[in-house]
Amino acid sequence: MQSFPLLLEWSTDPVMYHGFLSVMDRELEIWIELPYTANRRTETDNNIKSKSTTGQLRLFTANVGVIFGTDELQKILEGHEAQLQKKMDEASNMEEFLAELVDTLEAILSSKKTNAEQQRSLSYWTHVIKQLDALGWERVTNLNKDLSQAQIELSDASGRKHLLTVDFPPGYPAVPFNLKPLEIPEHDIQRLSQTLTSKSLSLNQENGLLAAVECAEKQLRDFTDFWDVMQDIDDKTWVVDPEKPTKADCMRRCVLGNHCTIQIVIDPTSPRSMPETRLIGPASSIESMRTKLYKNVSLWDKMKLPRENLEALLELPNGFPTPVTASKEEINIECGICYSFRYEGQIPDQLCSNIKCQQPFHRACLYDWLRNLTTTRQSFNTLFGVCPYCNETITTTAPRA
Ligand SMILES: [Zn+2]
Ligand SMILES: [Zn+2]
């Protein structure tokens, strides 16, 4: 019985084994009695008879032995008993027969599994197809082989493309399909996903997906002007933050020149209103720009794009610098120590106060630089040293950990 490690010798007189047959991740309990000697067979027969009255599966052949199975085994083998008895009659010993039994169990269990899967996938398949039929296949841009995920392309009023992802869980249609929220400004995501969820609950309707998509399209229309405004900023300025704006981002930080940038936060519900702005750069340059901004605020024209309005208010006759019109050296907004703009999520916000220098640095870069110089003095967490560019005094505080 070496090929069946889960079977242990239970008794020696008669020789009985008890244990499990391992078939397709299942452990099936079994009792086995081996033929001891010819003259004991009658005794064994009696034993068998008593066991068989319990309704358990029983297979018996004189030279192989007896098998008692549990209800579980019996249930699986239902209808196959005669076939197995025949195999047992042909087998020369118990081990040979057990190998046959395992093969038979595997065949039965795997065919049962396939049936269940086919049944599920047939209903699944039919329902997913119905949803996509109702939606219109021309709108489906991508569909997984197993139909578990589809991508639907939507357009806003300006023809901008948006992707809606729909997941059909394995239990669909008993479990509702799931829509991934669109990339839209933060404050509205919740409202939209709530609407979409309530729509997707009408999953028994053949047009449940269509209804959800139509609802998403309606919501997209509300943001068209917002995206027009953001796209104009992206096209006509030099955006340094965010690195890769998404359709949900309302903020842009744009290069102004003279070491300055302006942070603009557009209100998605009123994209043409004067946005929240913040000027970042050397105090002297910022001061003059802030003065212009306030002086000209009455010029704001809601018919124009915010980018155009800001150019008018800030008195930028050539408009915002763009990567085409200005060079990296000119705008000089990168850190003078690590030569990059973004460092561990930080942007260079420490500026040399020497008007002729105004070199920006990351706080962390400047702090490390000054700390390693023997000439630097420290008072609490503030360092007093010299600017690596102009040698004038520069101070900085420890960056937050
Ligand atoms: Zn740096
Ligand atoms: Zn300096």
pLDDT single digits (tens) 94-130: 888 889 889 988 988 888 776 666 666 788 888 888 8
Could you tell me if residue 218 is inside a domain?
A: yes
Cα atoms in the Cβ-side hemisphere of radius 13 Å centred on 161: 7
Query: What pLDDT score does 149 carry?
Result: 92
Q: Burial of 313 by CB count in 10 Å (0-12 exposed, 13-18 middle, 19+ buried)?
A: buried
Q: Which residues partner with 178 through β-bridges? A: 167
Which domain does 45 fall in, by range?
7-111
Evaluate whether residue 129 is within a structural domain: no
Instruction: Among 111, 146, 171, give the residue marking a domain's end.
Output: 111
Same domain for 102 and 24: yes
Q: Containing H/E element for 231?
A: helix 208-236
Helices (H) and strands (E) in the chain, counts: 10, 18
Q: Are 33 and 46 in contact (CB under 8 A)?
A: no
- Whether 390 and 359 have beta carbons less than 8 Å apart is answered as yes
In the chain, % of residues over pLDDT 90: 28
pTM for the complete prediction?
A: 0.60
Q: Domain with 316 in it: what CATH number?
A: 3.10.110.20
**Ligand 1 centre and the CA of 328: distance in Å?**
15
Distance of alpha carbon 169 from alpha carbon 205, whole angstroms: 17
Among 36-40, 155-159, 236-240, the minimum mean pLDDT is found in 36-40
- Among 328, 361, 388, where does a domain finish? 328
Rounded Cα distance between 333 and 359, Å, is 8
Provide mean pLDDT across the span 215-219. Answer: 83
Q: What percent of the chain has pLDDT over 70?
A: 86
> Is the confidence at residue 180, as pLDDT, over 60?
yes
- In angstroms, the Cα distances linking 105 to 59, 196, 313 are 15, 47, 82
Q: How far is the CA of 287 from the centre of ligand 1 (A)?
A: 25
Confidence of residue 175 (pLDDT cuts 50, 70, 90): confident
Contact 41/64 with Cβ under 8 angstroms?
Answer: no
Q: Give residue 336 CA to ligand 1 midpoint distance, Å.
A: 7
Per-residue confidence (pLDDT) for residue 28, from 0 to 100: 87
Residue matched to tokens 């937050």: 400
Q: What is the DSSP string of 7-48?
A: EEEEEETTEEEEEEEEETTEEEEEEEE----GGGHHHHHHHH
Whether 49 shows a pLDDT value over 60: the answer reads no
Extract the tokens encoding 81.
Answer: 């008993």
Residue 107 belongs to a domain: yes
- pLDDT, tens digit, for every residue of 67-86? 888 888 888 888 888 888 88
Residue 90 pLDDT: 87
Q: How far is ligand 2, taken at its centre, from the CA of residue 340, in Å?
A: 17
Give the per-residue pLDDT at 215: 82
- Please tell me whether residues 254 and 320 are part of one structural domain: yes
Q: What pLDDT score was predicted for residue 38?
A: 41
Tell me the two tokens of residue 249: 């981002």
In the chain, the number of structural domains is 4
DSSP state of 297: G
User: 121: CA distance to ligand 1 center in Å?
Assistant: 56
Same domain, 324 and 262: yes
Ligand 2 centre and the CA of 342: distance in Å?
20
Domain-located, residue 119: no
Quick check: 39 pLDDT over 50?
A: no
* pLDDT for res 188: 53
Q: Write the CB contacts of 179 (distance below 8 Å, at least 6 apart in sequence).
A: 164, 165, 166, 167, 193, 196, 197, 200, 212, 216
- Mean pLDDT, residues 355-384: 90
